[in-house]
Amino acid sequence: MFSLAIHGGAGAVTRETIPTSEDPLFRKGLRNALDAGTAILSTGGSALDAVEAAVRTLENDPLFNAGRGAVYTKKGVHEMDASIMDGSNLKAGAVAGVRNIKNPVSLARKVMEESGHVLLSGKGANEFALKVKAEMEPDDYFYTKFRYDQWLRVRHTDFYHLDHIVSEDPDRKFGTVGAVAMDAHGHLAAATSTGGMLNKQYGRIGDSPIIGAGNYANDATCAISCTGHGEYFIRYAASFDVHCLMEYKGLSLEEAVRTVIFDKLKVAGAEGGMIAVDAKGNISLQFNALGMHRGFRHSDGREYVALYNNE
């Protein structure tokens, strides 16, 4: 038995804000990521390999704000964050503010496996990338006309574009991608990757590279990947809280995710969502925003891909 869930960001995702022509492209992108992950899981591969593969696929798709297609910072560059966690041994790796890295999630995995650390940042993380021969790409690779034009409109302002703001702005695109999986051996893993906020400055780090905030995995309970207003997800240790609600209060995966997304984050004014699996193969995809790019696939044959509130 295996299960896999993915997301491509939450926010003002509605039929009104997503151009009709892009709807099938987003769904195709999500299916491609599910394909990459299930190719590994269905042949007995590990949850860790599956979430990395699924997130790499989303990073390589310029439609999503992670890897290729990342938004521009105030200085007009791409600074990306990613993390990965192995629920079988609670090992984790993450990078923050890296540039020119084709697949930040794979660099996060190298941090986990080869650095002796959990979180590397900025130029230092890029030096580590050179040492471990991470795949690099020139700035051009990360260019997308849509994101560049978006940045040109806001670069002279202090405006920054969060994933989470409920906005009817037709320019809205939604950041952060993630994957969670349970493999045939009962192990869990989670991975998250983002291009961050449009026009971000001051080396802001959101929840995506923070273990326990935007990403967490523990075979005893759950694997979680988040998307939304990162500052709140950090302050509420959103993904670790799901683990604790299951471990200490005995809540089910569905109840624990609902508690954090609605009773805590929504009440606090934070918009976002979460994808989660538990060690029994249960899957939960919940969000308090208008929509969330999301999908899952289960070894029992169920498959689901959706963008908006109900479809």
Task: Give me the residues that bind a copy of itself (CB under 8 A), please.
Answer: 85, 90-92, 96-97, 115-125, 127-128, 160, 201-206, 210-213, 216, 230-231, 234-237, 240-241, 244-245, 248-249, 268
**Residue pair 85/63 in contact by the 8 Å Cβ criterion:** no
- CA quadruple 259, 263, 268, 273: dihedral positive or negative? positive
Least distance CB 66 / a copy of itself (angstroms): 19
Give the count of beta carbons closer than 10 Å to the beta carbon of residue 139.
11
Least distance CB 218 / a copy of itself (angstroms): 10
The span from the CA of 88 to the CA of 22, in Å, is: 38
Three-state DSSP class for residue 128: helix
**Residue pair 161/71 in contact by the 8 Å Cβ criterion:** yes
If the CB atoms of residues 24 and 250 are measured against a copy of itself, the closer one turns out to be: 250
Q: Which of 57, 73, 176, 227 is catalytic?
A: 176
Q: How far is CA 159 from CA 96, 97, 144, 245, 259, in A?
A: 21, 19, 20, 36, 31
**Residue pair 39/15 in contact by the 8 Å Cβ criterion:** no
Least distance CB 237 / a copy of itself (angstroms): 4
Least distance CB 255 / a copy of itself (angstroms): 13
If the CB atoms of residues 72 and 240 are measured against a copy of itself, the closer one turns out to be: 240
If the CB atoms of residues 1 and 220 are measured against a copy of itself, the closer one turns out to be: 220
If the CB atoms of residues 54 and 94 are measured against a copy of itself, the closer one turns out to be: 94
**Residue pair 161/174 in contact by the 8 Å Cβ criterion:** no
Find tokens 């660099």 and name the residue: 107
If the CB atoms of residues 187 and 297 are measured against a copy of itself, the closer one turns out to be: 187
Least distance CB 55 / a copy of itself (angstroms): 19
CA nearest 242: which of 231, 234, 252, 232? 252
**Residue pair 183/47 in contact by the 8 Å Cβ criterion:** yes
If the CB atoms of residues 16 and 263 are measured against a copy of itself, the closer one turns out to be: 263
* 176 catalytic per annotation: yes
Q: How far is CA 109 from CA 12, 94, 244, in A?
A: 31, 7, 25
Q: CA 44, 297, 216: angle at the middle one, nearest 5?
A: 80
Least distance CB 83 / a copy of itself (angstroms): 10
CA nearest 80: which of 104, 62, 61? 104
- Residues taking part in catalysis: 176
